[in-house]
Amino acid sequence: MTSITLRERSRSAARTVLMELDATMILLFLVMSAGLFAGVWRLFTGLGASTNLNDGFGWGLWIGFDFSLIAFSGAGFTMAFVGHVLGLKRFHNAMRVGVLTGLLGYVGVLFLLILDLGRWDRFYSFMINWNIHSPLFEICWCVLLYSMVLMFENLPQVLEGIGRHKLAHVIHKALMPIVILGVTLSSLHQSTLGTLYLAMPHRLHAFWYTPLLPLQFFTSSIMVGLSVAVMAYLLATSIRKMDADAKVVNGLALGAAGAGLVYAALKIGDVIASGEIAAIMANEPMANLWKGEVLLGVIVPLILLLIPRLRRSQRNVVLATSLFALGVLFNRFNATLFAQRSPKGYDYVASSLEWVSTIGVLAGVALVWYLAVKYLPILQEKHTG
């Protein structure tokens, strides 16, 4: 009985998708396909043949986007915290969009990591070969486990989509321990991404290198996670032609600003305490890079969000959250690439294959996100307790 209805349902769903193919989908699909081709090419030709990475710049575009994308996907754990742990039902819809965005973000992260890994065929090595002292070991495990957590957090929405409401309800009820696990795993690896750089005092520029790195990475992941959640929620409601709840947008933006304030204090307080602030005031490339990152990516959005008159305009909220995201992207790229002191005789400009594959992965997850928002009951008209 059920199988027939299911089959019919999926058939009609497939028909709907085909009928409603729109320009966005086609564009994302084409970009994703190009990226897929580039990615497969890389996997079988090797890093030397396909990238401009070298022994002076072992990490490039992929890792820069990877570490940024992990921070952006903080939308998952921050929204699970708001929706489940704080139990704020008003944020129910935004939470469902947030955990979807988080899951797809991590899927993108996994794809980029595989592209970057030399022995990608041996990706499981960290599962059998343990080094509990290694930040990257911890990050690998957390990303793996947290991706599973995100799948669970998205399961009720998928089950509702295929009409298994009872099962969805049961899973929803049992979700709390998994949510706590997810928040814990996220707090661990978001901060450990900062710890990662503590192993590079001889490479990372002093403006960025600080024992506070784990805390900076953690707070900025909350800041950008909530920002991405705001943008994803606004985008999803507009795709579904629904009204975004202004109080939800406002609340999340304020949350992002709160985390942003702590992050700003950790960034600026650190350079004041270390006395580097004087050098940062100078007109010198590294100093300007730091000032650009903090002013554009932290201070300006904070002003936009913390002055009530400015915050009232939704355009300003979108601008501010985009700037937070840009600031974190900037920060992760500075830490991995621009503020790294690389050995003499090496330089790095990402190859076109690196760009195409990166954008392809991003387009792929964006496509799945778009389809999910459109065809799954991610957004609900009326909240069901």
Partner 1 sequence: MTTKQTCKEISRRDFLRLSAAAAGAAVFMGPASAVPLFAESDGAGNVDVNSLPATLFDVSRCVGCRSCEEACVLAKDRHPTAEDWEKLSANRYSFIDEVEVEPRPRWVQKQCMHCLEPACVAACTVGALKKTPEGVVVIDKAKCFGCRYCQYACPFNVPAYDWADPFGIVHKCDFCIENQRMGEPIACVAACPTGALDFGTRGEMLALAHNRIKANPRIYVDHVYGEFEVGGTRRLYISDVNMSMLGLRNLPHDAVPPKTEAVMGKTPVIAAGVAGVATAIYALVGRRNEKRSIDVEESQS
Residues that bind partner 1 (CB under 8 A): 43-49, 53-56, 58-59, 81, 84-90, 116-123, 125-126, 129-138, 140, 173-174, 176-177, 180-181, 183-184, 187-188, 191-192, 195-196, 198-203, 211, 214, 340, 343-345, 383, 385
Using the Cα atoms of residue 12, residue 383, residue 92 and residue 150 in order, give the sign of their dihedral. Answer: negative
365 close to 107: Cβ distance less than 8 angstroms: yes
Q: How far is the CB of 43 from partner 1 (least distance, A)?
A: 8
Q: Which is nearer to partner 1, 88 or 319 (CB)?
A: 88
CB of 377 to partner 1, least distance (A): 18
Q: How far is CA 342 from CA 211, 336, 355, in A?
A: 21, 11, 22
- Shortest distance, position 336 Cβ to partner 1, whole Å: 9
DSSP state of 340: B
User: Judged by CB, which is closer to partner 1: 192, or 316?
Assistant: 192
Q: How far apart are the C-alpha atoms of 157 and 264, rounded to whole Å?
A: 36
Residue 329 to residues 153, 224, 344, Cα–Cα distance (Å): 26, 10, 26
Query: Rounded to the nearest whole angstrom, what is the least distance from the CB of residue 123 to partner 1 in the complex?
Result: 7
Provide, rounded to whole angstroms, the least separation between the CB of residue 374 and partner 1.
Answer: 27
Q: Which is nearer to partner 1, 28 or 226 (CB)?
A: 226
Q: What CA–CA distance (Å, rounded) separates 98 from 251?
A: 14
CB-side exposure of 119: number of CA atoms within 13 Å? 5
Query: For partner 1, which is the closer residue by CB, 143 or 317?
Result: 143
Closest listed residue to residue 332, CA positions, set 135, 72, 56: 72
In the complex with partner 1, which residue's Cβ is closer, 6 or 86?
86
Kindly tell me which of 22 and 55 has the beta carbon lying closer to partner 1: 55
CB of 327 to partner 1, least distance (A): 23
Buried b vs exposed e over 131-153: b needs ≥16 C-beta within 10 Å? eeeebeebbbbbbbbbbebbebb
- Minimal distance, residue 97 CB to partner 1, in Å: 19
Of 331 and 340, nearer to partner 1 (C-beta) is 340
